[in-house]
A and B are shown apart, each in its own frame.
Chain A
Amino acid sequence: MSAGNGAAVQDPPVKPVKGRGPTFVTRFLESRHLGWAGLAVGLLAPFIIATPYAMDVMTSAVVFVMLAVGLNIVVGYCGLLDLGYAAFFAVGAYTSGVLSTELKLPLLATIPAVIVVTVLAGVIIGGPTLRLRSDYLAIVTLGFGEIIRITANNLSITGGPSGIYGIPGLFGDASSDPVVFYYAVLLIVAVAVLMAARLGRSRIGRAWRFVREDEDAAEAMGINTYKVKLAAYIAGAVWGGLAGVLFAAQLSAISPASFTFLQSALVLMAVVLGGMGSTPGVVLGAIVISLLPEMLRGLADYRFFAFGVLLIIVMIARPQGLWPHRSRER
């Protein structure tokens, strides 16, 4: 290749696309209107099946999408392996749960407080840990995840191991229609997904990707990598905390058992399965991870075995994820 193109360097005609051009399918998959199509699917789902059980599963899936999109900011955009993401989920759920039951507030009214508390939690956990890189960071976040859960298990204000009961619904009424609640959650999560995607396509979002690719080169371009990583961590914390509010609203009861390492691992699995850094991929990954065990219910005791085998097959066949971040971008 290098032989023969010595002195005279000619301009070859610019040929922008290698191999096949964009097909209809790829053009659709990269279209800006895709988000609307996804939202339409979510809006139409209750018309297909609306049993209380199905609504419950679907609502959980949508909340899980929010968690995965939040973790995607930290792991996918910024490349910070966080194994304790459930900590922020717990902080959000407990903050809204405690405030709403103690002060008799509807859950939506606790959101400003939840944002403040999760930002603080992000700073407190991220501040010392983000000086570490890769594996060390993963271990320390794992530790913090457990610390938050064990703290909730031992404080009286969080109800100890039995948790908090009687959390009111989003609008203050405990027994709202599951379909209405589903739509409320869907709209909130849709906005959250859109916001996360927009963050990814901005000055700060690019800075996160630069840090993920090469921290030193990012520093050399004037990006304070510490601040930028902390910003990613805080954004992830806020998304996780708000997902916690939705979770508390759905179950009306929370306990430390909901915020184990398994939960963190499942969210991470959704991000990796879908395609790190890719918003549609992560949404799809989260839906697969949360719905697949339900779909496999027919297998009874073997369903988690089948779930594991399917995940392994997917990761072998598509290591980049189900729907990876697009490689061409102007």
Chain B
Amino acid sequence: MLEVEDLRLAFGGVLAVDGLTFGVGAGEIVSVIGPNGAGKTSAFNCVTGFYKPTAGRIRIDGADVTGRRPSLIAAKGVSRTFQNLRVFGEMSVLDNVRAGTHLWLRQRVVDALLHTPRYRRSEREGTDEADKWLDFVGLRADRAGLVRYLPYGEQRRVEIARALARRPKLLLLDEPAAGLNHGEKTELLDLIRRIRDLGIAIALIEHDMGLVMEVSDRVVVLNFGREIADGPPEEVRGDPAVIEAYLGRDADEAEVEAAREEVGGARGQ
């Protein structure tokens, strides 16, 4: 489905992503985790075309899409949500989700100008699809109102519904649980599983370890732009390199001794 090979991204002298290789298979849930600033979102932005990688290859279903514009990558069947919520605030909930239908809705400008049967049919289809996905994500709010007026958690649902209305093969979720309360997180967990059950592969960036360990088939761990682990959740959880990245590491005897000497030496001078 998605193959990322030796991905590198440099901002000036800073390597945000430094040789990342991972893949997402069809129908698989892969989580990308790591401390803040590890390069997770940068990697997502490369995959979806928002950043042009400095080096490396990104393939979707075998087709090389490295450095292509985001709309073309979306056309290949990739859909995403954003870390800091990017809904169309001044538009209605339904219109927001209709954005997802843009790529597959069959409607020409002539149809719209003349209100042909095809126009009516496609508009109805788009609305039905939007309603379907809003039901799927469990949106309870008013669908004709502006998204701006919705509470945060509901806006998140709208964003996911919009991404699903694209009918993607691969969905990238960037910290979908951020800012959600406990109840909403439980619902999100259920939602992610139901999306996978539709046969959509999911790549997930998330800080909530409970959620990650619960849903992931595989976990990729990044630190300072480098991949330090890739495997099933239970294996990654026990990996010393991962624990070190998150918690730091206990110094061993020799290092303690060396440090003491250094400090002692400095005092002695």
Contacts and interface: CB of A to CB of B under 8 A. Distances in A.
Given A203-B107, A221-B166, A5 B71 contact: no
Given A206-B102, A213-B88, A213-B89, A18 B122 contact: no
Contacts of B79: 220-221
A210 interface: yes
Interface string B171-192: 0000000000111101100000
A198 to B, nearest CB: 6
A213 B113 contact: no
Contact of B94 (A1, A222, A330): A330
Contacts of B119: 202
B82 interface: yes
Contacts of B89: 213
B31 interface: no
Contacts of B222: none
B63 interface: no
A222 B166 contact: yes
A5 B140 CA distance: 15
Interface stretch (A9-17, A35-43, A110-118, A288-296): A9-17
Given A213-B91, A218-B99, A221-B99, A15 B142 contact: yes
A25 B10 CA distance: 58
A329 B74 contact: no
A108 B50 CA distance: 47
B232 interface: no
B60 interface: no
Given A198-B115, A222-B71, A210 B88 contact: yes
Contacts of B99: 206, 210, 217-218, 221, 223
Given A6-B182, A18-B145, A207-B102, A328 B91 contact: no
Contacts, number: 134
Interface string A297-330: 0000000000000000000000000000001111
A221 B95 contact: no
B142 A220 contact: no
B69 A224 contact: yes
A103 interface: no
Contacts of B82: 216-217, 220
Interface in A1-36: 1-2, 5-9, 11-12, 14-18
B48 interface: yes
Nearest to A227: B71
A17 B144 CA distance: 9
Contacts of B87: 214, 217
Contacts of B163: 221
B145 A220 contact: no
B95 A216 contact: no
Contacts of B187: 9
B28 to A, nearest CB: 21
Contacts of B105: 203
A213 B122 contact: no
Nearest to B88: A213
Contacts of A329: 91-92, 94-95, 144
Interface string A191-233: 0000100110111111101100110111111111100000000
Interface in B92-133: 92, 94-95, 98-103, 105, 107, 109, 111-113, 115, 119, 122-123, 126-127
A14 B145 CA distance: 12
B112 A203 contact: yes
A220 B74 contact: yes
Contact of A209 (B91, B122, B181, B183): B91
Contacts of B186: 7
A330 B181 contact: no
Contacts of B92: 327-330
A6 B140 contact: no
B122 to A, nearest CB: 7
B64 interface: no
A328 B88 contact: no
8 contacts: A7-B186, A18-B149, A202-B123, A203-B107, A220-B80, A220-B82, A221-B163, A224-B71
Interface of B: 48-50, 69-72, 74-75, 79-80, 82, 86-92, 94-95, 98-103, 105, 107, 109, 111-113, 115, 119, 122-123, 126-127, 140-146, 149, 151, 162-163, 166, 181-184, 186-187
Given A202-B109, A219-B70, 5 more contacts: A7-B183, A16-B145, A201-B112, A327-B146, A330-B143
By Cβ-Cβ distance, the 7 closest A-B pairs, closest first, are A202-B112, A222-B74, A213-B88, A222-B103, A217-B86, A219-B70, A224-B71
